Amino acid sequence: AQSVAQPEDQVNVAEGNPLTVKCTYSVSGNPYLFWYVQYPNRGLQFLLKYITGDNLVKGSYGFEAEFNKSQTSFHLKKPSALVSDSALYFCAVRPNQAGTALIFGKGTTLSVSS
Amino acid sequence: EAGVTQFPSHSVIEKGQTVTLRCDPISGHDNLYWYRRVMGKEIKFLLHFVKESKQDESGMPNNRFLAERTGGTYSTLKVQPAELEDSGVYFCASSQGIGTAYGYTFGSGTRLTVV
């Protein structure tokens, strides 16, 4: 079955330190990859996506993600975390097949301490 | 432009009752999706409308769930009768197209609690 794994329920990092939120996927073919963020009482907000091309994708709020095809990973990164980055992060894939639904991971709660 | 609007934002109902969730997509977005997140688990796809037609309803859990999109504008998702396991956050998303150039805009979700 096609799936997305976010192995960490929670990531804790101090403000100013780099952060990584991990994502691996098990999907056939060449999927499209996404990261979304959910702040409290808000909807899912788009951060970035990988379709094709450069493996390092830059997105909103200073976030970036690196696509690694051999490891089937799409880890989210930021060089210097902010307290305001604290939120719930979801990795998602859209299989490159018929149908346009996204397959999501469980989500990772990022907590940035001051 | 207005975003995707969902209401109610919260709903608490008793087992066996009926609940109807509503989603108003961004105007002009033909594609409308429903997803659900059960506490602590993945957000799972329920179904996809293109205008008023159900394009893909493979994620609908059972026949207690009925989704409609009359006229191709807003959509409703009815749960009848509700069961405890239906509790979760129901998200709606819309998209102008289905190509990779188009993104998905999500609503804030409806938190449904069945007691």
Summarised one tens digit per residue, pLDDT across range A39-48 is 987 889 999 9
CB B12, CB B115: distance < 8 Å: yes
Q: Do A41 and B103 touch (CB under 8 A)?
A: no
Cα dist. B97→A9, B3, B80 in Å? 33, 16, 31
Q: CA-to-CA distance for A23 and B6, rounded, in angstroms? A: 28
A102 contacts on B by Cβ (under 8 Å): 35, 43, 45, 104
> A45 at the B interface (CB within 8 A)?
yes
Average model confidence (pLDDT) across chain A: 92
Of A32, A49, A101, Cβ closest to residue B33: A101
> A24 at the B interface (CB within 8 A)?
no
Cβ-defined contacts of B103-106 (< 8 Å, 24+): B103/A46, B103/A49, B104/A46, B104/A102, B104/B33, B105/A43, B105/A46, B105/B3, B105/B4, B105/B25, B105/B26, B105/B29, B106/A36, B106/A43, B106/A44, B106/A45, B106/B4
Q: CA-to-CA distance for A112 and A14, rounded, in angstroms? A: 5
Summarised one tens digit per residue, pLDDT across range A51-60 is 888 899 999 9
> Nearest CA of chain A to the CA of B38: how many Å?
10
Minimal-distance CA residue of chain A relative to B34: A101
Summarised one tens digit per residue, pLDDT across range B33-58 is 999 999 888 999 999 999 999 999 99
Minimal-distance CA residue of chain B relative to A100: B98
Residues ≥6 apart with Cβ < 8 Å to A19: A11, A13, A77, A78, A81, A85, A110, A112
A32 contacts on B by Cβ (under 8 Å): 100
A104 contacts on B by Cβ (under 8 Å): 35, 37, 42-44
Q: Do A105 and B107 touch (CB under 8 A)?
A: no
The reported pLDDT for the residue numbered B76 is 98
Q: CA-to-CA distance for A13 and A21, rounded, in angstroms? A: 11
The reported pLDDT for the residue numbered A80 is 97
Q: Do A44 and B91 touch (CB under 8 A)?
A: yes
> Nearest CA of chain A to the CA of B75: how many Å?
17
Confidence of residue A4 (pLDDT cuts 50, 70, 90): very high
The reported pLDDT for the residue numbered B100 is 64
Phi-psi group of B51: left, alpha or beta (phi > 0 → left; psi -120 to 50 → alpha; rest → beta): left
Of B31, B98, B107, Cβ closest to residue A43: B107
Instruction: Mark the ranges of chain B whose per-residue pLDDT is less than 50.
Output: none
The reported pLDDT for the residue numbered A73 is 96
The reported pLDDT for the residue numbered B101 is 66
> A106 at the B interface (CB within 8 A)?
yes
Summarised one tens digit per residue, pLDDT across range A64-100 is 999 999 999 999 999 999 999 999 999 999 886 656 7
